[in-house]
Amino acid sequence: MEFFRHTLSNGIRIVHIHIPNLVAHCGIIINAGSRDEEPAEHGLAHFIEHMLFKGTKKRKAYHILSRLEDRGGELNAYTTKEETAIHASFLKDDYPVALEILSDILFNSTFPEKEIEKEKDVVMEEINSYKDSPSELIFDDFEELIFKDAPIGHPILGNSDSVRKFNRISIADFREKNYFTDQMVLCSAGNISPARLTRMAEKYLGAVPESSGTDRRIPFTGYQPSRLEIDKGTWQNHCIIGNIAYDLRDKRRIGMYLLNNILGGQGLNSRLNLSLREKNGFAYNVESSYNPYLDTGIFMVYFGTESSTLEKSIAITGKELKKLREVKLGTIQLHRARQQMKGNLARGWENHESLMLAMGKSIIVFDRVETAETLYRKIDEISAQELMDTANEVFNPDKISTLIYR
């Protein structure tokens, strides 16, 4: 993989990989998310993402939505705790169309009051849909439990009280405090030369005034393990067990990814899937996840099960965590785990939209993109002892928190 890098005079960075396909992908990632919100702004980063599609100085909402769709393309966006992204997939000849519409909605949106009021109802329905889905809601509640009152623990969607108060002034204030050109990355994966892409970027993004901002985020500290049970009256019991984990810049994160993959990652041969589902039939959905952030991270095991098998499932999960703390992986086991992780990465890179967005996130966090060869080398360097040390730190039963929906 060869990545092209360039920085415009206003600080917007470009990262591109040539993909000789009919379909191309590009997006703009902004280093601003829900953890950058003030107490009265909960959900505002996500709300702004919605409002970017509601009208610009020269387009109404319908024309924005139709600009690429009429050509067989797609325009989309998402918000996380730490970034906001708008991105497009389109036929390779439509690069100018895609870059122009992305630039227009990001820098020329007018945020009409009428559309703001309508979109509040849309976001409220989105919040309500989560409340009707305990297997999704429990992840937000667990992060609130882990991170307590810290901004990083608040749900991305916000809450009904905060959303109802949003207006053009609050939108403008958030953008002024968080949308800076030196914290934006144009990422691209498609059949276009770096020179032509750069010329287009200069045309559609180069005139944006330069701006820069300092890191305003307060690092999370003070984690205290806890256990909480909530009566939801659900047919199934839902449970998450977890702990804080390594941040994005911690070198141990690669080993944590590998450990998580062994325990309950993508493969049906993960230890939790084999023990909880295949061997005992206690759970249909069981998974573990590791999400690193800039200054902290979170590890979670989730499963849904009958009330009669809840405590047994928790005990089995505890046994699997204990095995990883106390029993070092053998040579063959470690080799298989490494190969599986490499295969998962390779399959992910074949999804060029995901690759494009991952490149942009990497530039935001590290100001570089690592090649497959570099990542494979780092995976091969992970030792069984390192995994055991990581397991003893992150899976320490004295540091584990538990959230249960009954």
Query: Each residue of 182-238: pLDDT tens digit?
Result: 999 999 999 999 999 999 999 999 999 999 987 788 899 999 999 999 999 888 999
Q: What is the pLDDT of residue 302?
A: 98
* pLDDT tens track for 283-318: 999 999 999 999 999 999 999 999 999 999 999 999
Tell me the mean pLDDT in the region 271-284.
Answer: 95
Q: How far apart are CA 322 and CA 325, in angstroms?
A: 5
Integer Rg of the chain from CA = 22
Instruction: Name the residue with tokens 């490494």.
Output: 338
Q: Which residues contact 119 (CB under 8 A, 6 or more apart)?
A: 47, 50, 51, 54
Contact of 360 with 184, CB cutoff 8 Å: no
Neighbour-count burial of 42, counting CB atoms closer than 10 A to its CB (0-12 exposed, 13-18 middle, 19+ buried) = buried
Give me the amino acid identity at 173.
Answer: D
- Amino acid identity of residue 188, one-letter, is S
- Is residue 81 within 8 Å of 293, Cβ to Cβ? yes
Closest-CA residue to 83 (of 133, 20, 18, 28) = 28
Mean pLDDT of the chain: 96
* Per-residue pLDDT, 218: 87
Check residue 74 and give its pLDDT.
97
Please name which of 50, 326, 94 lies closest in space to residue 190, comparing C-alpha atoms: 94
With cut-offs at 50, 70 and 90, classify the pLDDT of residue 267.
Answer: confident
Q: Calculate mean pLDDT across residues 381-403.
A: 98
Count Cβ atoms within 10 A of the Cβ of residue 304 and give its class: 0-12 exposed, 13-18 middle, 19 or more buried. Answer: buried
Share of the chain above pLDDT 70, in %: 100
Look at residue 175 in the predicted model and tell me its pLDDT. Answer: 97
40: tokens are 């009265």
pLDDT for the residue 260: 97
SS3 357: helix
> What's the pTM?
0.94
Residues in the chain: 406
CA dist 61 → 103, 127, 141, 144, 360 (Å): 15, 22, 34, 34, 26
- What domains sit in the chain, N to C, each tagged with a CATH number? 3-205 (3.30.830.10), 227-405 (3.30.830.10)
Predicted pLDDT at 131 = 87
**H-helix segments, 294-351:** 310-326, 331-350
Mean pLDDT in residue range 376-386 = 97
Q: Is 246 left (phi over 0), alpha (psi -120 to 50) or beta?
A: beta
pLDDT reading at 149 higher than 90: no
- Close Cβ partners of 227 (under 8 Å, ≥ 6 residues apart): 401, 402, 403, 404
